[in-house]
Structure 1
Amino acid sequence: MPKDCGGPARRITLSVSDSQLNDDLAHFKQQALDLGASKAEIIPADWVCIDERVRLKCSIPLCPNYNQSLFCPPNTPSPDLMRSALSRYTHAVLFCLDVVPAEQFSDRTIERDAVKGWSRKVFEIVGGIETLAFGYGYYLAMGFAQASCRKALCGQEKCLALQGSPCPYPLKARPSMEAVGMDVYGLATRVGWEIYPIYRSVNPAEVPRAMALGIVFVC
């Protein structure tokens, strides 16, 4: 076996004891921190609110990534499908990555360069937790990241998959939380994390912290 093939492969079962589940969730939370997350929490899946207004904000006002990727609206799953799918989950691991300085969010010139760093890291953490959970037998584990995968991963002007070509990152590329309608601001607030509105004309000195979030639904 190749040296880099050291992941777990636990036998899949149809039920898991509460103690085993709690241990596994704690392990996935620690995995997020080990991979570079600033904070991580285990949350009930039903804390995640799917709101049509969040997805609508991708087009009003128009996001520059709208319809530019297979994983950006209007190409993402509908709010109804997301509600139905997420209702089948009970637990999720939510994490955040502190973005320092906050100017990286508010200054678009800086953000274009910085996105390759903090946003790619969110994708890496989500993928790492999802893969680990899959190896532990949670074969329906599913994660969502931050920002456009086209910008964060491949840096292409046009999404190759949207044009019918193979995606260069088939196991890493995925929608952002907002792209499928998740109320990220509301969720972060419910968890108890400080989150602030950041926009182009904001004074970064008024923003104590900025963060990028990701989530993995485990079971």
Structure 2
Amino acid sequence: MKREGKKKPAADAKAPPEKAMKDIMARLRQQGASVVKRIDISDIVVDERVRLKCQIPVCDSYNKNLMCPPFVPSVAFFRDALARYTGAVLIQITAPLPEAMAGGPSAEVYTPAKKLHELVNLAEKWAFVYQFRFATGLIGGCCRLCDECVAVKKGRVCRHPFKARPSMEAMGIDVVETVANVRLSIRFPIVNEITWTGVVLI
């Protein structure tokens, strides 16, 4: 089992210009992000056990969401691709936990997750404007652009291919340890408020 995030970037990779990163981060704050932080690729921890938890116990999105396993790239592939990047922007949205939680999460719990998804898409778009053609965004939790993903009925063509993104967890990222590496935190069990975390690789 490999559990790492310390690979050196590719020799031909260049660190994103400071001005571009500052502008992207400022825009994210203006759009309502709770936390925006520039992080090193070495801070991102990839661990096969994260992907294992998609299947044991089986997640209700496994094989039912095109942005979740088994439809997304393998952990090994992602680890190799991640090593080609030199910088990233971590984004968090924190919101009060809805009072009505009896019987499971309510739709309100996922409202900030959808906001995070929107911010990740925007940050990726802004990065492209700055000529970072390989910029890639990862959201928090499973994609919820549709009430029901086409994968539920064995469909394989996404309705929103330019908006849909996999989560950090789907790619094998240990979000808790990654966040801890940059001196932030995620609280478990969730009490009073909920935090959704995403990242844009640049």
TM-score, scaled to structure 2:
0.85
1:29 aligned to which of 20, 25, 31: 25
Corresponding position of 2:9: none
* Deviations, residues 39-98 of structure 1 (Å, cap 9, x unaligned): 110011121111000011111111111110111112211111011000000100001000
1:131 and 2:131 are equivalent in the alignment: no
Corresponding residue SS for 1:148:
coil
Find the residue that maps to 1:84 and give its secondary structure: helix
Partner letter of residue 133 of structure 1? A
Question: C-alpha deviations, 1:124-183, integer Å up to 9, x for none?
Answer: 00000000100110011000001221xx21111643795134x22111101110011001
Q: Which residue of 1 aligns with 2:87?
A: 91
Whether the 8 Å CA contact 2:13–2:84 is kept in 1: the answer is no
After superposition, the Cα gap between the structure-2 partners of 1:108 and 1:194, relative to the gap in structure 1 and judged at 3 Å, is farther
Distance 1:180 1:162, change over 3 A: farther
Change (3 A) 1:189 1:88: same
Q: Which residue of 2 aligns with 1:69?
A: 65
For residue 36 of structure 2, what is the aligned residue in structure 1?
40
Gaps of 5+ in 2: 1-11
Q: CA RMSD in A?
A: 2.4
**Matched residue, 2:185:** 194
Q: Which runs of 5+ in 1 are unaligned?
A: 1-13, 199-203
Taking structure 1 as reference, are residues 157 and 45 closer, same or farther at Cα in structure 2, changes over 3 Å only?
A: closer
Residue 159 of structure 1 pairs with residue 159 of structure 2: no
Determine the structure 2 residue equivalent to 1:179: 170
Q: Offset of 1:112 from its aligned partner? A: 3.9
- Secondary structure, aligned partner of 2:113: helix
**AA paired with 1:190?**
N
- Structure with the largest fraction of helix: 1
Tell whether the 8 Å contact from 1:76 to 1:175 is kept in structure 2 after alignment: yes
Which secondary structure state, in structure 2, belongs to the residue aligned with residue 36 of structure 1?
Answer: coil
Report the number of matched residues.
Answer: 191
